[in-house]
Amino acid sequence: MQRQKRAGTPSLQTKSARHRTAASPIVAQPRDASHYTAMRRHEDDLRRNFKAGLYLGLAIGLVVMVLIMWLWAVPTVDGCVENMKQMQEQMLQSSVVMA
């Protein structure tokens, strides 16, 4: 297409814009509502799947943390408490023997 810079020459717009005519019926037809409904449903599905994955990940993380606390940290602390009680008893016995 040739570009001319004189006044009144056609521009690079579409033919319908140059001649102020309506676009062809195929172009002017709006899409049916089912197309937009399907797109909306797809977006809702993605949002719902993201939330479900997020909640599932948080729940699994919470379960793992509880298992670690229950199986490792609590027995370790209980063992430490027992050791401290034994040490206190030994110190009390040794102080009674000295006195």
21: alpha, beta or left? (left if phi > 0; alpha if psi -120 to 50)? beta
Q: Does a structural domain hold residue 45?
A: yes
| Residues 12, 3 contacting (CB under 8 angstroms) | yes
| Residues 23, 16 contacting (CB under 8 angstroms) | yes
User: For the chain, how many structural domains are there in total?
Assistant: 1
Q: Does a structural domain hold residue 3?
A: no
Q: Does a structural domain hold residue 57?
A: yes
What pLDDT does residue 29 have?
Answer: 63
Q: Report the candidate in 10, 28, 27, 32 with the shortest Cα–Cα distance to residue 19.
A: 10
* Mean pLDDT, rounded, for 35-55: 93
Instruction: Specify the higher pLDDT residue, 65 or 16.
Output: 65
Q: Does a structural domain hold residue 22?
A: no
Judge whether residue 95 has pLDDT over 60. Answer: yes
Domain assignment of residue 50, given as a range: 32-91
What pLDDT does residue 92 have?
Answer: 86
The CA radius of gyration of the chain, in Å to the nearest whole number, is 39
Angle at 73 between CA 71 and CA 77, to 5 degrees: 120
Q: Does a structural domain hold residue 12?
A: no
CA-CA distance, 23 to 16, in Å (whole number)? 6
pTM above 0.85, yes or no: no
